[in-house]
Amino acid sequence: MDIKLVSVSEEHYGKRVDVVLASLLNNTRAQVQKMIKDGDVTLNGASVKASYRIEGKEEFKVVMREKEALDLTPYDLELDVRYEDEYLLVVNKQAGLVVHPSFGHNNQTLVHALLARGDKYSDVNGVFRPGIVHRIDKDTSGLLIVCKNNEVHNKIAKLLQKHEITRRYTALVRGKLREEAGLIKTYLTRSKDNYQKMENTPATGKLAISHFKVKERYKGYMLLEVELETGRTHQIRAHLEFIGTPIVGDKLYGKKKDPLYSAGQLLHASYLAFMHPYTGKFVEVSAPLPSYFTQVLHRLQKDL
């Protein structure tokens, strides 16, 4: 453990303290946010929030603890593989499972479970993300493509960039919409007030487009099918909050505790389809809703 006094000049005026300290300390923003949460960053003897705005000429006291090393020890976890050939596989990820190791999620991720299978995977995105060409959130369940070599990884990445992979999600949301179907278009970037969230910022955000259809209506809730046209971070979660129908159980974009279900967001990547970049065959994969999801739907159906 080491203690550093970090002086911040006026050139950083108005910036968030987690952003500035991450740059000055050569750490990731997630690492600095954890340090702040753990009380390891103080100003004049008092703890600060990650959203604190720099005024200039502050001196922060920072407790530097030993960094947690990333671990790639295989994790023996049975995976629900819905499609596999010599080039790639499509896995149905369970909710609560992080996709790849990172600060704060050092082990027992999907990557660790993939390594336990003994296969070789692409390393385009680094040694700690073998095979991972796209991802879904920890509390989102459903389908994910995993690549077995760099060549197929790059080809799948191009299909994603060209929007040539159909990705459909099933979401249970709170609220009502008049439309039976529609398009959501925003420009997403990190929220200035909460770095964990994405928000619509037309001046600086990246274009994000989602298409939705109403599959079922309940009292105060709806079951939606959402198809991605783009694939931004938290896109579906942010988009559904944007139109006033947040996903049930989503504590970041919805209510802190939904009376219907609060053990995780009811969002499931249910369908993937694409032309295989090597075989030229049409690959179509689906995954049924998890049992906890269907149980909630059965409760809603009884109230109709």
Q: Which amino acid is at 275?
A: M
Bridge-partner residues for 268, per DSSP?
Answer: 141, 170
SS3 89: strand
Q: Where do we find the tokens 């944007």?
A: 242
The contacts of residue 212 (CB under 8 Å, 6+ apart) are: 181, 182, 183, 184, 224, 225, 226, 227, 240
Q: Hunting for tokens 């970049």 — which residue is that? A: 277
Give the C-alpha separation, 236 to 226, whole Å. Answer: 8
Question: Among all residues, which ones are annotated catalytic?
Answer: 137
**Residue 20 burial class via C-beta count within 10 angstroms: exposed 0-12, middle 13-18, buried 19 and up:** buried
Rounded Cα distance between 219 and 33, Å, is 39
